Structure 1
Amino acid sequence: MGRRHAASDPIYPRWVWIAAAATVAVLIIGGGFLLRNLIFPAGSAEGGIAAESGSTPSTGDPLAQDSPAAVTGASPCISLNILTSLENADMVRAMAAEYTEKPRSVDGKCVTPAVTQEKSGVAAGKVAAQFPGVPAGDRPVIWLPDSSAWLRIAGEAAGGSPVPQEGISIARSAIVVAMPETMAGALGWDSKPPSWSEVFRMAGDQDVWERLGHADWGKFKFGKASPLVSTSGLMALAASYGAAGGSVGGLDDMELGAPSLVEKVRAVELGTSHYMATPEHFLWHAREADDAGNVSEFLSAVIVDEKSVWDYNRGVVSEDGKTKQSGPAPKEPLRTIYPQDGVHVADNPGVVLDGNWVGSQQRLAARDFLAFAVTQQGQNVVKASGYRTIQGTLDTEVAETGRYAGTLQPLPLPKAEALVAMQDSFPEVRKRARALFLLDVSESMVQEPGVTKLQRAKDAVRKALDHFEGEDEIGLAAFSHVDDGPLQPGIVSPVAPFKTNKEHLLAQLDELKAVDATPLFEAVSRFAGDQAKEYKDTFINTIVLLSDGKNDTTHPGDLGGLSQQLSHQNHATPVLVFTLAYGPDADVPTLLEIARASGAHYYDATDPNKLEEVLGELVTSF
C-alpha cells in the first residue's frame, strides 16, 4: 500500500463563505440565478425517461425501465460534467459507465459524461461562488453531493438565490458509528444499540477499556470528520447538538446559539480524540493499525457513512478520499452501529446547475442522465456500489460485508438555518487544540533564489494560525544545529493560550533564521516527549512538523526508536505528530512513519506552491 497523501484544494473558512454569499447576491440582483429545481418534462430527451423533480418511487411501486435510444446520437457528443462528493464518486462513475453502455441520443447527439469529485463542503462553496477561475467548459452541469445538506448550505451561502433545497435522490447511505467488532462486542453494542447520548458519553469515558478488562486497548479513541467539509462530520455535529439538547430529531426547534446548549455541546465534543478532514483518513489509519496487528492503537469508534464501512471490510481504503486502494480484508472488520434514536441518511441528490455556462443541450442531457439513475437499471448500479436504493433495498452480499441493518430509522435533515448555525459554531464548540508548530530551519530552507522555503513556511504558518481560537494553546519551536553543538533554537514561543501569546508567537516566527544541520529524530523525540509530559485530556495534543529534508546530523537517534516512543505515547498520552513534507527533497517515507506511529496523518507539500493550502487542510484535523 502506498502512503502518499496528495495535496487537495483548500478548505474554505467561514469568511470565504460570506464573501461568496455577497458576490452571488450581487449577481442575483443583476437578474441571474445560480441553480434551479430539477424538472424532467415529458419528451425532453430523445429516447430518455421522464421524471419529476423530487419524486421518488415508494417502496411498493415498480421502478421505471431504462429506454435507451434506438441508435447512438451523432458526434460531437454533448459534454456532461458531473461534480460529486468523495464518498459517492465511485457510484456515480459506475452509473455513468452503465448509462453509456446503451445508445443515448439527446437532441440527436451522443452524450459523454465526465465525473469529478470534491469534498462536500468545498464543492458547496464553489457552487455558491459559481466556480471562480474555472473555465466555462470545465464547470459542472450536474451537482450530485452525497447529502441534501449541502444544497441547503450552498443556498444560504449564495445569499438567498433559488438554490433547490432538494434534488432527485438516487441512493441512500446512513451515517453510523463504526467500531472494531471486538470493541463493539465488549460494550454489548453489537446486540443492543446505544442511543446517541450513550455513544458520546462512552467517548468521554477515557478509562472504559481498562474497567472492562482491556487495558491493552488504551484510551477510548473517538474520531470525527470536519463538519465544514464532510457529510459524516456535519451529521456528527448535528448528533452532538441533538444529544446535548435532548432530541436528535428536533434541531430545528432548538435555540442553537443558546449559551447553555453551546456549553453542553462543548462538553460532548471533549470526547473526540481528534478531527480529520474526511472519514477516509480515519479508515486509512485504522487499516494501517490493523495491518500492524492492533487496530485498537488507533481507533475505538468513528462516525462514518455505512458505505465506507463496506469498503473497509472488503479491503478498500483511501488515504486522500480520491484514490482507492484494494487489498485483502482486514484482520478485524468494523461493526456498523445504528443508534436506537435514529440516524441521518445521506440521500445523494442530483440537481442541474443553471449557470450561464450550461447550454440547452447539456441541460437535456443532464435530465436524461438523472432520469436513468432512478430506473431499475440505474438502481442496480446503486446496489452493486454499496448503497441502499431509493426504495431501501440492499444487495445481500453488500449488507453482510458492511454489517448493514435491514431497515433504517431516519432522522429529519435540519433546515438550512440550523445547518449553517452548527457549522458557524464549530470553532467555538470543537475540542480545543494544544499544538506545537515545529519548523525545520536547516540550511536547505534558504538555498534557493527569490522567496525561500523558510519564508514560505513562515507565511503558511501565519495564515494557518487564523484557524485557532483564544482558548487553544499554541506554541512554536524550530530545530537545527551547527557542527556538534546542541539543538537550536528549540522552543521560541512556549505552548500557551493563544489569546495571550499570539503576538509573541508571530514575532518569534518572523525572527527564525536558517542554521545548518537537520536533527529530525532528536527534535521530534524531544518535543513529542515534552508534549506527552504536559498532556491534557481536555485538549487535542499535537505537533505540526514541517520539514524539507531528512535526518542529517551527527546527533544520536534513529527512526525505529522514535517510532517506538511515539507508539508508546499514543497508548496513554497520545501526541499526534502531523507531518508535512515541504519541497522535493523531503524524506517522505520517514515523515510518513512518524505520522503513522503517532496516530496522525502525513501531508504532501513537496510542491512548495501548495504549502499554504495543504497546511490549511492539516490544521482542520485538530
Structure 2
Amino acid sequence: MSSATPRSRGGARRRREQVRRRRRRRTLAAVLGFVLVVGVGATATAFMLSRADVEPPAGASPGASQSADPGDGATGEPTAEQIDFQDDEPAAAPGAEPCTTVSVLSSFENAEMVGNLAAAYNAQPRDVAGRCVTVVAGKDKSGIAAEEAAAGFPDLGADERPSVWIPDASTWLSIAHAGGGVAVVPEDGVSVGSSNIVLAMPQPLADAVGWADSPPSWGEVFEAADDGQLWADLGHPEWGDFKLGKTSPLIASSGQAAMLSSYATSSGSANLSVADIITPAVAAEVAAHELSVSHYMATPEHFLWHARESEVQGSSADFLSAVIVDETSVWSYNRGITSRDGVTRVAGDPPVDPLVPIYPTDGFYVADNPAVVLNGSWVDDVERAAAEDFLRFSTTAQGQQVVRESGYRDLNGSLDDAVAELTSAESAPSGALAFPDRNVVAAVAEAFPEVRKDAQVLFLVDLSASMGYDNTAGQTRLEGAQHAITAALDHFTAGDRVGLAGFTTTDGTITPGLVAPVADIADNRGALVEGVNSLEPVAHTPLYQAVADFAQQQAAMWDPDRINAIVLLSDGVNATGDIETIGQDDMIHVLHGLHAETPVLVFTLGYSPDADVETLQAISSATGAHYYDATDPTEVEAVLGDLVTSF
C-alpha cells in the first residue's frame, strides 16, 4: 500500500484483464528437461544483456571472477581488476575515555554483516583524535530508515541519531534525497560488499521446472507465475499454483528489484527511464505481472520464516514456489537461520529442501551496501573522524574477510567458499545490474499503488471490555486502535476493497458484527471512518468464533485477482462468557480448510501485554500470513502501518 493520493485504476484494470486473457491462451511446454515459455516474444529478449553491458555499483564488481587470495576463502581466479585489500592498522593502545560512540544504522537484510563489522572493529584498540571508539550497530526496515533519514531522524534525540547509515542498496540513498534529505544524506556511498538479488526456489521445484540448470528470463518467470497449471503439467499437482513471493518495494530492496525487473521486461529495455515507468502499456503489463503475487511482505525474512514453517508442516511448496531475495538470505535460510519478526534470529536445523539461487538471463540487480557518514548537525568533527575510520576498516583485508564470512561478496565480487557451497551460488554470474538513477527509483515507488495487486481486506477489531483500559499514551486502547486504523486507511488506493467488523458479546450473541461492508475505498472511506469512530468496548472476547465466521465470509467473496485478507487486532485471549462457541482446534481446522481452495490471509496484531500471542501466531501461520507485535500499545500505529504495506 502507499500513502499516495488515491486515483482511479479502472482503465489500468481493464488493460490488465486484456493482458490476462492473452496470457491464458499461452501454454508452457516441457522441452529437453526445462520449461520454454511460449509467446514471451520481444519483451523477453530485448532486455537480455551480456556482462560487458553492465556497469557495476561504485566500489564493487559483483559479477567478476576475482579473488584476493585463493587461500583466503574466496572463489574464482584472480584478474587484473582485483583490489589489493590493505591490512587494518589498529592503534597501539586505545585512546582516552570516554570513548567516541559511532552509531551505525543498517537495513534488516544486512544487519548481521554490519554487526559483525562493528564487533571486529571494536575488538582492536582504536585511537581517533585521542579518544577510544565504540561502534554500536542498529537496524530498521530500509524504507522506514530512508524516510527517517530524509527528515533528519526527528523522533530521536541528538545522542540517539546515527552517524553512519549503511542501507543494503543505493536506492535508499536516492529515496532519502527524493524525500528532502539532501542536507543530511550524502549523494553517494562507498560500497562495503554486495549481494545479488536473485530468484530463489526450493530445490525440488527448481529442478522440476528446469531452472536450476537453465535459468529463465524474467519474462519467463512472470509467464510461469501466471500459469495456474504449471506444476500440474509438470507432474506435481500437489504444489498447487505457482506462488511468487515479493517484498514491498516501499520497504525492501528486493521488492524494488522485482518491480524494476518487471518494468524492464515489460518495456523491453534494461536502461529504464521515467518515461518507461509512466507509459500506460508498460504499466498495464506490470500490473498483469503483479496478479501472480501471493502477497507482499515487509522483508525477505518474513517470507523465509513462513517457508520454513510450511516445510515443517508438510512442504515449503505449500507457501511459495519462488521468492525474490538476495543471495545472503538464501545462505541464512539454507543454514537454518530464520526470523519471525526480522529482529530475533533463531538457529535451527537446515531445511530439507534448500533454496537454489537462480540468476535470470536478462540480468539481476545488486544490493551494493553503500556506507555514508551523515551530514547531520549531531555528528561533530571527532565523531565524523571516528565514523570514517570505521568505514576505512570495512574495506581492509580484515573487514572484507568479515564481509565474506557474513555471506556477502567482497569488493572483488568473491564469496567465502563455505557460503558459496551452501547457497549453490555462482562464483561469477553474468548480468549484474546497478540500480537506476534516483528519478527512476522514485517513479517506481510512486507508480506502485497503481500497478500492485488490489487488496480485499476486512479490519476485525476486538471490542472486549479491556479495550477500554488506558494505554501508556494517555488514551484508551480502543482510542489508540481507532487512530491507527484511520491512519492505515490512507495506505489504500481506489480499487482496494476495505471493510470493518468488530466482535464482543451482548445478550448471548457476537456483536456488533459487520460495521462497514467490504467495498471500494474510493466509495466507502467515509463509512469506514464513521464505523471506526463508532466502536465501543463492551464485554468478552469470542476470538475463535469471530475469526472462523469472518474468515468464512471473506472466503465466500474470494477473488483470485486480489489479495484476500483479514487484519485482526486483539488485546486479549478467547473469553466467551455464557455463550457457547467453537474451540481453538476447530477454528484452525476452518482456516486450514479455507486455505486449500479460497485462501484468506489473516494477519494478526497483538495489541497489549495481555494478548494471547501464541494463539494469534497460530492463526496467522495457518493462513500463510504474519503476526505483528504491538504489545507495546504506543507502537500500534507504526506496526499497523507496517502491516498494511505487506499485503
User: Which residue number in structure 1 is paired with residue 119 of structure 2?
Assistant: 97
Q: Please say if 1:534 is aligned against 2:549.
A: no
User: Which residue number in structure 2 is paired with residue 33 of structure 1?
Assistant: none
Deviates more, 1:97-106 or 1:172-181: 97-106
Secondary structure, aligned partner of 1:227: coil
Secondary structure, aligned partner of 2:278: coil
The aligned runs of 1:235-246 (5 Å cut-off) are 235-246=257-268
Does the 8 A contact of 2:60 with 2:368 survive in 1? no
Secondary structure, aligned partner of 2:378: coil
User: Which residue number in structure 2 is paired with residue 482 of structure 1?
Assistant: 506
* Residue 328 of structure 1, CA deviation: 0.9
Q: Please say if 1:505 is aligned against 2:528.
A: yes
* Residue 559 of structure 1, CA deviation: 1.5
Tell me which of 405, 408, 424 is aligned to 2:426: 405
The aligned runs of 1:159-308 (5 Å cut-off) are 161=183, 163-247=185-269, 249-252=270-273, 254-308=275-329
User: Which residue number in structure 1 is paired with residue 630 of structure 2?
Assistant: 605
Note closer, same or farther for the CA distance 1:162–1:458 as it changes in structure 2 (3 Å cut). Answer: closer
User: Which residue number in structure 2 is paired with residue 18 of structure 1?
Assistant: none
The aligned runs of 1:383-532 (5 Å cut-off) are 383-408=404-429, 409-448=431-470, 451-483=475-507, 485-532=508-555
Q: Please say if 1:324 is aligned against 2:345.
A: yes
Q: Please say if 1:569 is aligned against 2:594.
A: yes
Note closer, same or farther for the CA distance 1:14–1:111 as it changes in structure 2 (3 Å cut). Answer: farther
Q: Deviations over 1:111-144 (max 9, x none)?
A: 1111111111111112211111322222222111
C-alpha distance in structure 2 between counterparts of 1:163 and 1:614, whole Å: 26
* Residue 232 of structure 1, CA deviation: 0.8
What value does the CA root-mean-square deviation take over the aligned residues?
Answer: 2.1
Point out where structure 1 has 5 or more consecutive residues left out of the alignment.
Answer: 1-10, 16-52
Note closer, same or farther for the CA distance 1:253–1:521 as it changes in structure 2 (3 Å cut). Answer: closer
Amino acid at match of 2:361: Q
Note closer, same or farther for the CA distance 1:447–1:377 as it changes in structure 2 (3 Å cut). Answer: closer
C-alpha distance in structure 1 between counterparts of 2:182 and 2:416, whole Å: 40
Amino acid at match of 2:593: H
C-alpha distance in structure 2 between counterparts of 1:341 and 1:78, whole Å: 47
Amino acid at match of 2:370: P
* Residue 54 of structure 1, CA deviation: 5.6
Note closer, same or farther for the CA distance 1:414–1:69 as it changes in structure 2 (3 Å cut). Answer: same
Tell me which of 398, 404, 416 is aligned to 1:377: 398
Q: Please say if 1:592 is aligned against 2:617.
A: yes
Does the 8 A contact of 1:275 with 1:620 survive in 2? yes
C-alpha distance in structure 2 between counterparts of 1:584 and 1:365, whole Å: 40
Note closer, same or farther for the CA distance 1:496–1:526 as it changes in structure 2 (3 Å cut). Answer: same
* Residue 254 of structure 1, CA deviation: 4.2
* Residue 173 of structure 1, CA deviation: 0.2
Tell me which of 123, 126, 136 is aligned to 2:145: 123
Q: Please say if 1:335 is aligned against 2:356.
A: yes
Secondary structure, aligned partner of 2:372: strand
Q: Deviations over 1:505-561 (max 9, x none)?
A: 322333333333322111111111121122111100001111122221232312122
Q: Deviations over 1:11-66 (max 9, x none)?
A: 99469xxxxxxxxxxxxxxxxxxxxxxxxxxxxxxxxxxxxx96569742422122
Q: Deviations over 1:415-467 (max 9, x none)?
A: 00000110011111111000011112223322559743223222221111111
Amino acid at match of 1:404: A
Does the 8 A contact of 1:177 with 1:303 survive in 2? yes
* Residue 589 of structure 1, CA deviation: 1.0
C-alpha distance in structure 1 between counterparts of 2:581 and 2:398, whole Å: 63
Amino acid at match of 1:300: S
C-alpha distance in structure 2 between counterparts of 1:352 and 1:159, whole Å: 13
* Residue 253 of structure 1, CA deviation: 6.8
Amino acid at match of 2:300: P
Secondary structure, aligned partner of 1:256: helix
Does the 8 A contact of 1:204 with 1:272 survive in 2? no
Does the 8 A contact of 2:60 with 2:194 survive in 1? no
C-alpha distance in structure 1 between counterparts of 2:198 and 2:570, whole Å: 37
Which consecutive aligned stretches of 4+ in structure 1 deviate over 6 angstroms post-superposition?
none
Amino acid at match of 1:301: A
Secondary structure, aligned partner of 1:540: strand
Q: Deviations over 1:265-286 (max 9, x none)?
A: 1111111110111111111111
Note closer, same or farther for the CA distance 1:344–1:605 as it changes in structure 2 (3 Å cut). Answer: same
Note closer, same or farther for the CA distance 1:549–1:100 as it changes in structure 2 (3 Å cut). Answer: closer
Note closer, same or farther for the CA distance 1:513–1:111 as it changes in structure 2 (3 Å cut). Answer: closer
Deviates more, 1:529-538 or 1:499-508: 499-508
C-alpha distance in structure 1 between counterparts of 2:315 and 2:581, whole Å: 30
Secondary structure, aligned partner of 2:177: helix
Point out where structure 2 has 5 or more consecutive residues left out of the alignment.
Answer: 6-56, 62-79
User: Which residue number in structure 1 is paired with residue 35 of structure 2?
Assistant: none
Percent of aligned pairs with the same amino acid: 48
Note closer, same or farther for the CA distance 1:355–1:14 as it changes in structure 2 (3 Å cut). Answer: farther
User: Which residue number in structure 2 is paired with residue 7 of structure 1?
Assistant: none
